[in-house]
Amino acid sequence: MGTSPLGRTLVIANPAANRGQGAEGAAFVQRFLDSYRGATTAHELILTKAPGDAQNLAREANGFDTILALGGDGVIHEAVNGLMERDATNRPQLGIIPMGSGNDYARTLGMAINDPSRTLAQLVRGHASSLEVGRVNGVHFMETLSFGMDAAIALDTTRRRVEETTSRHGEELFISSGIRIFSEGSNGWPCRASFDGRPEMTLPTVIFAVQVGPTYGGGFAICPKADPSDGLLDVCYNVKIPRRPWLLALLGLARFGRHTESSCVNLLRFEHATMDFEAQPPCQVDGEELCGTHFEVDVVPQALRVIVP
């Protein structure tokens, strides 16, 4: 097995993740860590019971070298925010065991998805790398922040997972929500935006995605070259509003990152941005709704040590 980087480890697991598969994953992880003593120097597993539990546990966990977040992007988002509330000198490293529907942060890190056996093998043979996170109005995000129609799609998929009995998940769920919402069209949410002190732009915001890693929505490469170790955030935004058929076409092209060839969108990298909307837009941060009209967005370079393969 080699030398595991985990040390004293707290596993924070969401048993409800991916329609209850999180509970099975947590049970497997418990058996694995109990059986293979060389994986950690000591370990504890706690199941979350309500929203916010993972953030509180990560913030208050003292004496641990590693926090392992087991579940979807939601529980990882909470764990990241809990860790970022701690002093940087007393911040455990982060590992993830992705058991969700979207799993976009897992894709960014190169982790096995919905396969705790393979993920644990990656973790105990992995190494810690210093990676950035984003911050918007005091809320940290490890993968994505978006406004406009793509945010409306992300929020719709979250709602449907909670309210509907649907077998769709990940990319399929995102596409089904996207077809409906993009087909409805939009006049956009006018926004004044400035990046790193450059001249302010007025944008007819329909698509506006800020990324730490390349993908959102279960694998859509919205910012294909986003790198979580470069100290910069990537953004993809529309500069004009295409007609509805082209909106749907852009959705399809984004699956493979080919939307970047369109004259309707622009991509750039930045450290700090401000955005002011005339009216409150749909906004999501790692799948969680965020309300407001004024947004301050920053990158926090080398914020977390994250275990990667």
The Cα-based distances of 244 to 91, 179, 184, 238 in angstroms read 47, 10, 8, 14
Region 158-182: what's the mean pLDDT?
57
Q: Which CATH number fits domain 8-125: 3.40.50.10330, 3.20.20.370, 3.40.50.2300, 3.90.1640.30?
A: 3.40.50.10330
pLDDT at 156: 72
Q: How confident is the model at residue 206 (pLDDT cuts 50, 70, 90)?
A: confident
Determine which helix (DSSP H) or strand (DSSP E) holds 28, and give its type and residue range: helix 17-35
Nearest partner of 128 among 78, 75, 92, 84, judged by Cα? 92
The three-state secondary structure class of 89 is helix
Q: pLDDT tens digits for 135-148?
A: 999 999 999 999 98
Q: Which residues contact 21 (CB under 8 A, 6 or more apart)?
A: 99, 114
Domain ranges of the chain: 8-125, 144-302
Whats the size of the chain, residue-wise?
309
- 């990319």: which residue's tokens? 171
Type of residue found at 288: E
Q: Are 8-125 and 144-302 the same fold in CATH?
A: no
Q: Is the dihedral of CA 172, 173, 174, 180 positive or negative?
A: positive
For the beta sheet containing 288-289, the strands, ordered from the edge strand earlier in sequence to the opposite edge, are 265-270, 233-238, 207-211, 144-148, 283-285, 288-289
Nearest 5 degrees, angle CA 46-CA 47-CA 49? 130
Q: How confident is the model at residue 218 (pLDDT cuts 50, 70, 90)?
A: confident
Looking at domain 144-302, its CATH class is mainly beta
Q: How confident is the model at residue 102 (pLDDT cuts 50, 70, 90)?
A: confident
Ranges 9-18, 60-69, 79-88, 183-192: which has the least confidence: 183-192
Nearest partner of 110 among 122, 124, 127, 128, judged by Cα? 122
Tokens read off for 192: 């004044």
